[in-house]
Amino acid sequence: MDRLDNTVRPYAWGSPTAIPGLLGVEPTGEPQAEMWMGAHPGAPSRTARGTLVEVIEADPERELGARTTAKFGPRLPFLLKLLAAGAPLSLQVHPDLRQAREGHEDEECRGIPVDAPHRNYKDANHKPELVCALTEFDGLCGFREPARAAALLEGLGVDSLKPYVDLLHARPEDAALREVLTALLTADRDEMAHTVAEAAAACDRLGGDYAPYAGIAHHHPGDPGVIAALLLNHVRLQPGEALFLGAGVPHAYLSGLGVEIMANSDNVLRCGLTPKHVDVPELLRIVRFEPGDPGVLRPEAAPDGEEVYDTPVDEFRLSRHVLPEGAAARDLTVPTPQILLCTAGAVHVGEHRLTPGHSVFVPAGEKVQMSGAGTLFRATVVL
């Protein structure tokens, strides 16, 4: 079992206080957006035996187990994060596995460097993800019903938005959403700036359902992505609630601290609210124009006290144990690799005492118990 030393990524949208507050350390004054736990080559966790990438490469079957290695290959299939949003992230979608493989092969054949700013597919893997709120957590997830989106836009009282309102009343619904998003993504940014400014001022004045979009506009003035964001469902998670983001679902996190887990990939196609590259044709190929409820997840209790967040993927499985003071120790031994992260209290995992923000990697099949009083998240795979 290895105690993990993890990298914090200082992306501009990160909160300067949330992760330091969880860790119980002084803020640096700089944004601290994500703490990565896993074996992603971009920022692998460090152990006393080397990076987690090196540890796994030295003996994949010992660390991951024969069945995990046979199913996913000689690498850890998931990446666990603490995510602290102090400002809105970019609107984005992720490809499915077939799309990722095709896109990666195409860009490799065309010789696009993996670090090129216009590169879409850094790897050949899909990136389903789950975020579980530790604090109140705001995000956007999936398309609203077009009629509801039209009513929201119309309620702003901005005349130049009327063409989009009319399009959203068209049928079929998926075609209406596609046409409006395409129009927004291909519009001249300078020509759209006045419309976005009017819409932002109206959101700020009206408040209520419009308040989240006023905040987005404050961080991204003049960006047509502000209008695109109004097409999406706003979701406010309470601590312990979660969202699952499948392939093609447009989303953005706005604020809050959460535990995030995903397939071990870095493939992102952006829709807006970013100065980075937006590949409109490829994006429109990936987005699923399917309106509906975003589906807030709550954990399902298992007999051993574990609370499981059920998702339709095998690369990761996220659960938590909330151990009250004086409770009996719990056996956490499983035949799969796992990362255990403490988010509250103080718990003992083997010989390690974990406090909030601290984690360990447990090789497949290694005997491990949890004791103490606190909350422990478990990341593993499904066989």
Angle between helices 211-219 and 189-206 in degrees, nearest 10:
140
E strand or H helix at 193 = helix 189-206
Instruction: Single out the residue of 138, 148, 128 nearest to residue 288, CA to CA.
Output: 128
Indicate if the alpha-carbon torsion angle 344, 137, 26, 14 is positive or negative. Answer: positive
- DSSP reduced 3-state for 286: helix
Give dist(CA 355, CA 342) in Å, integer: 6
Tokens for 370, please give them: 């949890």
Please tell me the distance from the alpha carbon of residue 83 to that of residue 15, in angstroms, as a whole number: 9
ω into residue 10 within 30 of 0, thus cis? no
**Is 236 in contact with 243 (CB distance < 8 Å)?**
no
Residue 83 tokens read as 């995510």
- Which residue from 150, 136, 162, 138 is spatially nearest to 230, judged by alpha carbons? 150
Would you tell me how many other CB atoms lie within 10 Å of the CB of residue 353? Answer: 14
User: Which pair of structure tokens corresponds to residue 37?
Assistant: 């736990």
- Give residue 317's Cα distance to chain centre: 14
Alpha carbons 83 and 269: distance in angstroms, whole number: 19
Nearest 5°: the CA angle 310, 254, 228 is 100
* Enzyme catalytic residues: 270
Q: Which among 241, 237, 231 has a CA at the least distance from the CA of 253?
A: 237
Q: How far is residue 371's CA from residue 279's CA, in Å, rounded to a whole number?
A: 49
Please report, as a single letter, which amino acid is at residue 321. Answer: H
What Rg do the C-alpha atoms of the chain give, in angstroms?
A: 22
Query: Is residue 212 within 8 Å of residue 234, measured between CB atoms?
Result: yes
